[in-house]
Amino acid sequence: MNLRGIEAFQAVMANGTTVRAAEVLRVSQPVVSKAITSLEKDIGFSLFHREKGRMVPTAEGQLFYRDVQKAFTSLTALRGAAARIRDFGSGEVRIVCRNALSTNVLPAAIAIFRRKHPNVAVTFQTRLSSEARDLVAGGQFDVGLVADEVDTTGVDVTLFADHRAVIAIPEGHPLCGRDVVRPADLDGVDLVALSPEDTVRRKLEAALEKAGAVPRIVLETPYSTTVCALVRAGIGCGIVHPKTTDVYDGNGLVVKAFDSRISFKTLLITPPNRPPSRVVSELIAALQGVKA
């Protein structure tokens, strides 16, 4: 079964006659008829009834055409992918990101990237850092942005960003009156905390212990965005990534500086022993341009 026969069959089914199919394929009508006859011999059943010069699809031909259409759709996609690879070095770019940067840094970077490469497909997922690391290490994603507590075995790593932590406070809370909140100020305060394995959570616990402060941990969550939503609901205060507060600040939530050395470090990871393609490099450059 050769591609010429499949193309001839698809063209006749799509255009109704061998004459029109020949015009579309830019060959002669006898070439189309010969290709279809050869295809029928290869597959072992008739695709058309020949009736007074007309070619009427058989029932088997109709069934076969359904799969041919699927194959041609895939072939069209392959041609498009080949064109993108030819023009841009890669037909797609796949990025997986920690939650804290998924609603701010990533959308801004992708917007910049797509203005330059509107035909390059972008796949973007938000995952826990450990899951993101596994996806990049396995070659399923080209770039990952992960928290610094993640195991970096099996990936290439660079420091992407180091953002100073802030504290999110419900509107009307007594701490709203302070310009800067210190660890000692959290003694006895309801606190929405990040998960125990989070590096920032561990640094916060060390700072609280040094200050002799014991807050009331009312909830735990792995995501700064979720902390912000819970703080806005009045459940407690929370130490969060500064990039997650934009949509909440002034909308039921107040953001204050937190007097400590606590920061959220983000690592950029890529698959090992595989230099980034040109488009992946340009997406990374876009990320670097909006990370501040």
| pLDDT given for residue 84 in this prediction | 60
Residue 32's H or E segment, with its range, is: helix 29-43
CA 243/CA 150 separation, integer angstroms: 20
CA 291/CA 283 separation, integer angstroms: 12
Quick one: average pLDDT of 192-221? 95
% of the chain surpassing 90 pLDDT? 69
pTM of the complete model: 0.68
CA 248/CA 129 separation, integer angstroms: 24
| pLDDT given for residue 159 in this prediction | 96
The whole-chain average pLDDT of the chain stands at 91
- Encode pLDDT of 255-289 as tens digits: 999 998 899 999 999 999 888 888 899 999 999 99
The answer to whether the CB of 144 falls within 8 A of the CB of 155 is yes
Q: What CATH number has the domain spanning 3-88?
A: 1.10.10.10
**Residue 63 structure tokens:** 């069934």
**Residue 248 structure tokens:** 């909440």
Per-domain boundaries in the chain = 3-88, 92-158+270-290, 166-261
| Structure-model confidence comparison of residues 83 and 10, the more confident one | 10
Give the three-class secondary structure for 180.
strand
Quick one: average pLDDT of 198-220? 96
- Encode pLDDT of 111-137 as tens digits: 999 999 888 889 999 999 999 999 999
| Structure-model confidence comparison of residues 40 and 89, the more confident one | 40
| pLDDT given for residue 155 in this prediction | 96
Confirm whether 3-88 and 166-261 share one CATH topology. Answer: no
Domain over 92-158+270-290 is classified CATH 3.40.190.10? yes
Q: What CATH number has the domain spanning 166-261?
A: 3.40.190.290
Instruction: Give the Å distances, CA to CA, from 40 to 2, 28, 122, 138.
Output: 11, 19, 41, 44
The answer to whether the CB of 57 falls within 8 A of the CB of 65 is yes
In whole angstroms, what separates CA 63 from the centre of its chain?
37
Give the three-class secondary structure for 49.
strand
Quick one: average pLDDT of 239-262? 92
